[in-house]
């Protein structure tokens, strides 16, 4: 049914009444050999909107709206559009937060676009073409969230260390990954979903709708992973330094039918965040407790199970933005609801990787345009059952095919013949199946007698073999990008906007399973070719005025001849001070600048016995290219937060890493310039960078 139906025979009467009356708008820790991921399906909380429909025996028709002139650069305009057609973006305030993003996802699903929440070119085109008379193609279910009341610090005569939330609200909240672009860059805490080892994830530039939107950086610190290479991880704490492991312990201390408790020994703090892997999933999410009880050296967090998905949950770790991760220890699994077995069998190794454009396979090395949109899907070996081979040829245009018997599949099943996916629409008693050819953007083609036939297993969350994978695409110039595939068989669309001229090769696909009960790791499998391409998948982008050029750093202002860059010069600072750097000599190349990383060499001050070390701090790019360090507090131990600094050191400017939308360039204080690709190192002319320093005695 379309969203908007107006009975044509009553249109004049309705307009007349409206003009007189007015109106309102309806408003075991051992890693396995192989690994995968999936996001659990959760109940959608819906709001019912009642529409007045005037009944008549005449056929209903729809009056089409014209949205071709909508301003897609205005968040308010997009919010008004989503609200007008019932997708519920919330207040029209210009802030495109969680509710607006979820509304955009519902719209994307409604029109048949992958619901990634990104306002890419395909979504923009769908908005402009929207008339309000469309028929729903698919639906999107938002994760259930409640807005917990602000915690109240209660004091009484017996204890002042208990923090509770009002008992009248259900405050268990699932914090999920926010797909919208933001200005937070740095390091995220996590554990390896296929190793259970402590890891740190580097969060840089990310645009999930573009092939070249999420760089896969070649040069990152040891023991740090690129964004998304560990699945989807909740983005709660982002710090400027990698995380380390805490000596404290955390475990599930109580598990009842309606609640469970997590106990942390060694630190009493009501600022802890708690991270879990849901049932049939490898996604790491954060749950907010209903109540936190803090005493000396101990934290107890109490969680309500009422909003949680049924199945076996895994408590992964806790952290409090201190730079330390507390890994869970046994017991760390709890069950919720009526739980069946949470086990699977089969390989998560990718067997089929489809790379298509406009419903046809992209040939190896085919030339594509930055205006093109491509689709990628994958199928693992454990996701299907083998069926008897085809008894006769199947032509490219055949919508009715003959298989060996009537037991091959039922209506609604998916068949894979060679690399083409077909959806079974119906069958008769003579082994003839009516199918939708080229399902999920795979290419219809001729299949000869004896072609293999596979039937995809029921793709529910507790049956699908792999629900998460990432692909690394490498350009011949050495730049790399990563693409997220949220589930096998499903087609995932990406645009080539912003991809510079180059030859691109599929270097790796790594697929993950969901976590089985009783295990602390998920199975994974990686297929990688660091010098060639996997599955012979590659393409070329070659257009005029589309070459990549890196940013540059100039020494002086060309008009005045004065230094273009400035910073502190051996000054002493204390808590409450501000240190300012200005890099007006920084010039963008072919790609817009996104953020910078300022790195310092830390040398112990006179009389200090501390070892030499280093630290970094991140800033989103701004128009003035001025970056202010607020030294809010000074501590004697290692500092992790941007506003927290360790005493006893001289901080000497070491290098400026500049991140654009495609790569990063490093300007060092010795005049060297290095690149995150295969380009040879070069030099810059800013000879005075090594003079920038400040001291915290």
pLDDT in tens, 389-448: 999 999 999 999 999 999 999 998 899 999 899 999 999 989 999 999 998 888 999 999
The pLDDT mean for the chain works out to 84
Do the domains 8-27+32-129 and 552-696 sit in the same CATH topology, yes or no? no
How confident is the model at residue 493, as a pLDDT? 94
DSSP calls for 644-687:
EEESSEEEEEEEEEEEESS-EEEEETTSEEEESSSPPPEE-S-T
Cis bond upstream, residue 331 (ω within 30): yes
* pLDDT band at residue 519 using 50, 70 and 90 as cut-offs: very high
**For 345-371, what is the mean pLDDT?**
91
Length of the chain: 697
**For 22-40, what is the mean pLDDT?**
36
How confident is the model at residue 343, as a pLDDT? 84
Percent of the chain with pLDDT strictly greater than 90: 63
Strand partners, 275: 286, 317
- What superfamily would CATH give domain 8-27+32-129? PGBD-like superfamily/PGBD (1.10.101.10)
How confident is the model at residue 633, as a pLDDT? 96
This prediction has a pTM of 0.73
d(CA 433, CA 425): 7
**Domain residue extents for the chain:** 8-27+32-129, 152-336, 552-696
How confident is the model at residue 112, as a pLDDT? 82
**Distance (Å) of CA 423 to CA 450, 454, 498:** 20, 12, 34
Q: Are 517 and 341 in contact (CB under 8 A)?
A: yes
CATH pick for 552-696 out of 1.20.140, 2.60.40, 2.40.160, 2.60.450 = 2.60.40
Of 315, 279, 233, 194, nearest to 460 by C-alpha is 279
d(CA 298, CA 265): 5
How confident is the model at residue 595, as a pLDDT? 97
């Amino acid at each position: 049914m379309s969203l908007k139906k107006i009975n044509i025979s009553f249109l004049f009467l309705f307009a007349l009444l409206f003009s007189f009356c007015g109106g309102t708008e309806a408003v075991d820790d051992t890693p396995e050999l192989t690994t995968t991921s999936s996001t659990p399906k959760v109940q959608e909380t819906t709001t019912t909107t009642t529409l007045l429909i005037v009944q008549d025996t005449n056929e209903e028709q729809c009056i089409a709206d014209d949205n071709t002139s909508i301003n897609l650069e205005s968040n308010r305009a997009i919010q008004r559009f989503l609200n007008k057609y019932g997708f519920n973006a919330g207040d029209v305030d210009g802030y495109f937060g969680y509710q607006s993003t979820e509304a955009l996802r519902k719209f994307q699903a409604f029109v048949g676009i992958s619901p990634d929440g990104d306002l890419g070119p395909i979504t923009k085109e769908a908005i402009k073409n929207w008339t309000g008379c469309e028929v729903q193609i698919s639906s999107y279910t938002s994760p259930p969230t409640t807005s917990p009341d602000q915690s109240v610090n209660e004091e009484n005569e017996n204890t002042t260390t208990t923090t509770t939330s009002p008992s009248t609200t259900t405050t268990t909240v699932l914090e999920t990954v926010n797909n919208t672009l933001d200005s937070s860059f740095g390091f995220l805490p996590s554990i390896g979903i296929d190793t259970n080892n402590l890891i740190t994830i580097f969060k840089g530039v990310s645009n999930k709708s573009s092939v070249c939107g999420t760089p896969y950086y070649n040069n990152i610190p040891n023991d740090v992973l690129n964004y998304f290479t560990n699945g989807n991880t909740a983005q709660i704490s982002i710090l400027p330094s990698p995380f380390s492991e805490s000596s404290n312990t955390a475990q599930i201390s109580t598990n009842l039918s309606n609640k469970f408790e997590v106990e942390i020994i060694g630190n009493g703090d009501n600022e802890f965040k708690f991270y879990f892997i849901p049932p049939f999933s490898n996604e790491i999410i954060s749950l907010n407790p209903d109540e936190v009880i803090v005493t000396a050296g101990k934290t107890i967090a109490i969680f309500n199970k009422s909003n949680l998905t049924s199945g076996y949950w895994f408590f992964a770790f806790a952290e409090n933005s201190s730079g330390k991760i507390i890994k869970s220890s046994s017991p760390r699994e709890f069950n919720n609801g009526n739980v069946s077995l949470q086990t699977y069998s089969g390989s998560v190794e990718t067997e089929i990787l489809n790379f298509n454009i406009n419903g046809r396979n992209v040939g190896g090395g085919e030339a594509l345009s930055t205006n093109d949109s491509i689709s990628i899907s994958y199928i693992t070996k454990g996701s299907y059952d083998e069926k008897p081979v085809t008894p006769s040829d199947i032509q490219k245009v055949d919508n009715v095919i003959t298989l060996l018997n009537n037991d091959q599949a039922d209506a609604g099943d998916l068949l894979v013949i060679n690399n083409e996916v077909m959806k079974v629409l119906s069958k008769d008693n003579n082994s003839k199946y009516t199918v939708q050819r080229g399902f999920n953007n795979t290419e219809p083609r001729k299949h000869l007698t004896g072609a293999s036939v596979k039937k995809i297993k029921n793709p529910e969350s507790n049956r699908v073999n792999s629900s998460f994978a990432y692909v690394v695409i490498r350009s011949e110039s050495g730049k790399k990008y990563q693409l997220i595939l949220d589930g096998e068989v499903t087609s995932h669309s990406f645009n080539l906007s912003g991809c510079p001229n180059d030859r691109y090769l599929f270097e790796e696909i790594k697929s993950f399973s969901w976590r089985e009960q009783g295990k602390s790791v998920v199975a994974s499998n990686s297929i990688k070719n660091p010098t060639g391409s996997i599955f012979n998948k590659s393409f070329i982008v070659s257009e005029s005025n589309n070459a990549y050029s890196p940013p540059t750093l100039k020494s002086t202002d060309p008009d005045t001849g004065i230094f273009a860059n400035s910073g502190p010069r051996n000054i002493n600072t204390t808590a409450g001070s501000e240190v300012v750097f200005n890099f007006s000599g920084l010039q963008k190349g072919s790609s817009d600048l996104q953020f910078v990383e300022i790195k310092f060499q830390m040398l112990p001050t006179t009389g200090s016995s501390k070892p030499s070390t280093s630290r970094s701090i991140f800033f989103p790019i701004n128009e003035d290219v001025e970056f202010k360090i607020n030294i809010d507090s000074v501590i004697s131990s290692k500092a992790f937060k941007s506003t927290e600094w360790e005493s006893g050191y001289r901080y000497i400017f070491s290098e400026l890493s500049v991140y654009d939308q495609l790569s990063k360039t490093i300007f060092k204080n010795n005049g060297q310039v290095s690149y995150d690709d295969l380009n040879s190192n070069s030099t810059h002319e800013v000879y005075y960078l090594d003079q920038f320093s400040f001291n915290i005695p």
